[in-house]
Structure 1
Amino acid sequence: MRIITVLISTIILICPAHAGAADPAKSGLSEEQTHIVPIAAFTAAGDIEKLEAAITEALDAGVPVYDIREVLIQMYAYAGFPRSLNALTALADILETREASGIEDRLGEDATPLPEDTDMNALGNDVRNQITGRDMTTNSAKYAQIAPVIDVYLKEHLFGDIFSRDVLTHQERELATISALAAMSGVEAQLRGHYRVSLTTGLTPEQLYHFTDILRDRVDPQTAAKAQRILEEVLQARTEQGASNE
C-alpha cells in the first residue's frame, strides 16, 4: 500500500496536469485576479470579441470598472497604443450598453494623484528596484546601453507613471503583464523576466501555476502550454540557484 501511495504521489507531481489541479482557494489568487488574466491576454492578442466577453464576465462578477480600465491602460506599455485604445473603446461600449439596460456597475477607486513636484525618474527607479529585487539604477542591459533614453522612459513612465498608480497592486500588475506576454509571440525572454519579478512581488509558484490554468481554461491551451513550460524553467533555475547558494 505504501508503494502505491508513493507512486500516486509521484505521478501527481510530474504529470503536466498537476498545474490544472490548482484550487483557487489554496492558490491565493482572488476572483478579481483571475479575471485580469483573460482581459490582459485578449487585449494583447487583439481579440476584441473574446475581450468583450471577458470584460462582461468580470463586470458580472463585480470587478470594479476602474480596475478593468487600469489593466487596459497598462497594456499599451506592452502591446502598444492601438490595442490598448481598441480595448478601452470596447470597455466604453460595453458600459454604455449595460447602463442603457439598467445595469449599474461599481466604479471602484480611481488612482491617488501624486504630488505635483514628484520626481518621476527617482520614483520609477525606486519602484523598479523594489519589484525586481535588485538595484537597476545603472542598467547594464544592452537595450539601455545602445539607447539610454529607453531606460529613462521605462523608469519615468512605465514604473513611475503607470506602476505607481494604486488602482492595482504590483502583484496584480505583474499578473496582467505575464498574461499579455504569454499571449504574444517572440517575447519569451520578457516572460521569463516577469515571472521572476512576479515571484519577487510575492506571487507564489502555486499562484503562477493557477495563472497557467486560467490561460488554459479561458484563453488558449497552446498559450497555456507555452506559459507553463517557461514557468517550469524559471522555477527549476530558481531551485538550482537556491541549492548552489547553500
Structure 2
Amino acid sequence: MQEIKSCLLLIVLLLCFSSTMLAQNNAGENQNLTPRQQHIVTISAFTAKGDLTRLSSALHKALDAGLTVNEAKEVLVHLYAYCGFPRSLQGINTLMAVLDARKAKGITDKIGKEATPIQNNGSKYERGKKVLETLRGKPENGPKTGYAAFSPEIEVFLKEHLFADIFERDILNYADREITTISALINLGGVEPMMQSHMSIALNLGLTESQLMQILSLIEENGGTKEAEVGKQVLSALIKSIKK
C-alpha cells in the first residue's frame, strides 16, 4: 500500500512539473515586446525608409513613453552600420529637431546614461569575433568562406568596428541592437539572407518567434505591408529549418 501511495505521489509531482514547464514555455512564446522595444522598432523602420515625417512622430511618442535621449540617439547611431551614414545622419538631425521643438514647449526629456568607455585594449578583431560568437551561440572555426574569403578586408571591418566598437557599447543591450537591426533590414529590402541571420541571432539571444512576429506586425501596421510579408516568409523558413 505504501509503495502504491509513493508511486501515485510521484505521478502527481511529475504531472505538476510538466504543467509548470508547459505554462512557462507558452508564456515565453506568447511574450510581447516591451513598449520600449516597440518604439525601437518604429524608429528603426522609419529611419531605414528615410520617412522623416513619420520618424519625427515616432520619436515624439518614444520620448513621451520614457525612452531616453541617449537611447534614441544610440539606435540612430547603430543604424549607420546597416543603412548607411545618410539615413543615420538624417535620423539624428530629425531627433535634434524633435528635441528643439519639445524644449520650446517646455518639455524636459530624460537624457539617460552615457556610454561607458570601453576599457578593453585587446585586439579589436578578437573582441569582435568573441561578440559575434556570443550572438550566434557557436564558435567561429574553420577557413573563411563567402565574402570573408573573397574580401577579407571587409570581414576585418565587420569584426573590428561593427562587433567591437558598436556592439560593445552598453547603452543598448544585444537584444535591443538586434531588434534595431532586424527592423531596419526588413525595411531596406533585398537583404533576406542578412535578415534571416539576424533573426537567428535574436532567437539565440532569447527573443521568441512571437516577438519577431510582433516586429513584423508593427512594421505592417506602419505602412510596410509588402516588407512585412517578405519578413514573414524569411521567419517561417528559419523556424522550419530549426525544427528539422
TM-score (norm 1): 0.84
Please state if 1:144 is matched with 2:145: no
Please state if 1:67 is matched with 2:71: yes
What 5-or-longer segments of structure 2 have no aligned partner? 1-26
Partner of 2:177, secondary structure, is helix
User: Which one-letter code corresponds to 2:174 in the other structure?
Assistant: H
Match 1:98 to one of 95, 98, 102: 102
Deviation at residue 118 of structure 1 after TM alignment: 4.0
Query: In structure 2, what is the equivalent of residue 45 of structure 1?
Result: 49
Aligned partners of 1:160 and 1:137: how far apart in 2?
Answer: 19
Deviation at residue 219 of structure 1 after TM alignment: 4.2
**Number of residues paired by the alignment?**
218
Please state if 1:230 is matched with 2:234: yes
Deviation at residue 26 of structure 1 after TM alignment: 4.4
Please state if 1:182 is matched with 2:182: no
Aligned partners of 1:174 and 1:166: how far apart in 2?
Answer: 14
Could you list the runs of 4 or more consecutive aligned residues of structure 1 that deviate by over 6 angstroms after TM superposition? Answer: none
**Larger Rg belongs to:** 2
Write the deviation string for residues 100-122 of structure 1: whole angstroms up to 9, x where unpaired.
11100111112110116243222
Q: Could you tell which deviates more after superposition, 135-144 or 46-55?
A: 135-144
Cα pair distance change 1:181/1:139, threshold 3 Å: farther
Residue pair 1:35, 1:58 contacting (<8 A) in 2 also: yes
What 5-or-longer segments of structure 1 have no aligned partner? 1-22, 241-246
User: Which one-letter code corresponds to 1:196 in the other structure?
Assistant: S
Query: In structure 2, what is the equivalent of residue 6 of structure 1?
Result: none
Please state if 1:191 is matched with 2:191: no
Aligned partners of 1:138 and 1:43: how far apart in 2?
Answer: 37
Alignment of 1:25-36 (within 5 A): 26-36=30-40
Partner of 1:67, secondary structure, is helix
Please state if 1:166 is matched with 2:173: no
User: Which one-letter code corresponds to 1:164 in the other structure?
Assistant: E
TM-score (norm 2): 0.84
Aligned partners of 2:61 and 2:227: how far apart in 1?
Answer: 21
Residue pair 1:192, 1:234 contacting (<8 A) in 2 also: yes
Deviation at residue 201 of structure 1 after TM alignment: 1.2
Deviation at residue 139 of structure 1 after TM alignment: 6.1
Alignment of 1:215-226 (within 5 A): 215-226=219-230
Match 1:132 to one of 128, 132, 136: 136
User: Which one-letter code corresponds to 2:209 in the other structure?
Assistant: P
Aligned partners of 1:144 and 1:193: how far apart in 2?
Answer: 15
Match 2:116 to one of 109, 112, 117: 112
Write the deviation string for residues 45-100 of structure 1: whole angstroms up to 9, x where unpaired.
11111111111111111111111111100111000011101100110111011111
Q: Could you tell which deviates more after superposition, 176-185 or 128-137?
A: 128-137
Residue pair 1:27, 1:210 contacting (<8 A) in 2 also: no
Query: In structure 1, what is the equivalent of residue 61 of structure 2?
Result: 57
Cα pair distance change 1:184/1:157, threshold 3 Å: same
User: Which one-letter code corresponds to 2:226 in the other structure?
Assistant: Q
* Aligned Cα root-mean-square deviation (Å): 1.9
Match 1:82 to one of 82, 86, 99: 86
